[in-house]
A = this chain, B = another copy of it.
């Protein structure tokens, strides 16, 4: 496995802190799950933070065991000789708080009650996730980030890092991001929420982990799935093909696209906790780079590093216009902000499906930072 990071292990670190959140509530103690790939250099100047999306996790590259069938979620980006080159960079990926993949979230034990938080978990903003990551970097003795690279919710984290810890951040690469989620994006998450709320098994978040609101979560995931695709990508993959197993005039007969959404929705139920899904959806909805600032320019004025932005032509969830709004304002403020609109048919998912379309641009950008 020449270009693989090989066998990797998720690490966990506990912080005996009470993190003050944007909501005013305190959260702690905290556990953060993270993985690293490559070697930290002597002056700790080669760190790239990879920030994951909504349902992502710390396992960005490599395999956990030799038997793993799938590598980490961004394995095509991270490894020896790849664009996030583990021969040069020390790559760090940590699971965000609010998630269910090792960091503190709604499934964690609330120390005050000794029972899982569930809905007693505080509503988070992306800014809170970044503050928690800062604890991890302090713990690891890392004082500077060569770059922060992330797509979707990862892009939001990159932006927040550059605004709130400008002294630590030497560049950011927000991919398929937004400065604030649109009412369209919020309304899709509202459907997902309602799908869960309608499921009698949800029990206002007090479901038993072994009996999650599977129908509701599967439907919620299907909503998300659609928003990650595009009209064209669905056409390319499914056309109007009807399932060969169904009669076209059966009331319950399905098109292939329906079977696909069903299948993926149901699979997701075993992979993700429902409450975590909802808390992270809420964080996405609340995301607004101008939160607690008077204006967009006041927020972006704080960024003092070069930034590289990618948006995708068919992304109707976080549209190119949303990225362009940020880039235009940064350029107006005389900041170094490079922007590339990537032509791709794969909707919001383009950043995962066609990385080859932006990898060369990313490589050039990172090379110039060294």
A286 interface residue per 8 A CB criterion: yes
- Checking B180, B183, B191 against A219 with a beta-carbon cut-off of 8 angstroms, the contacting residue is B191
A255 interface residue per 8 A CB criterion: yes
* Chain B nearest Cβ from A220, distance in angstroms: 10
Chain A interface, >50% SS class: helix
- Bound form: Cα–Cα A366–B255 in Å: 39
A122 interface residue per 8 A CB criterion: yes
- Produce 1/0 per residue, A115-126, CB < 8 A to B: 000010011000
Q: How many copies does the complex hold?
A: 2
Contact between chains at A231 and B319 (CB < 8 Å): yes
Contact between chains at B182 and A231 (CB < 8 Å): yes
Q: Which residues on B sit within 8 Å (CB–CB) of A226? A: 184, 187-188, 191
A81 interface residue per 8 A CB criterion: no
A234 interface residue per 8 A CB criterion: yes
Q: Which residues on B sit within 8 Å (CB–CB) of A234? A: 182-184, 187
Find the B residue at minimum CB distance from A291.
B248
A298 interface residue per 8 A CB criterion: no
**15 additional A-B residue pairs with CB within 8 Å, beyond A24-B249, A183-B255, A195-B198:** A22-B249, A123-B248, A183-B234, A184-B229, A184-B230, A184-B234, A186-B257, A187-B257, A188-B226, A191-B261, A195-B195, A195-B219, A198-B198, A200-B200, A248-B286
Among all A-B residue pairs, the 9 with the closest Cβ atoms? A183-B234, A23-B249, A190-B258, A183-B257, A123-B249, A184-B231, A198-B215, A183-B238, A187-B257
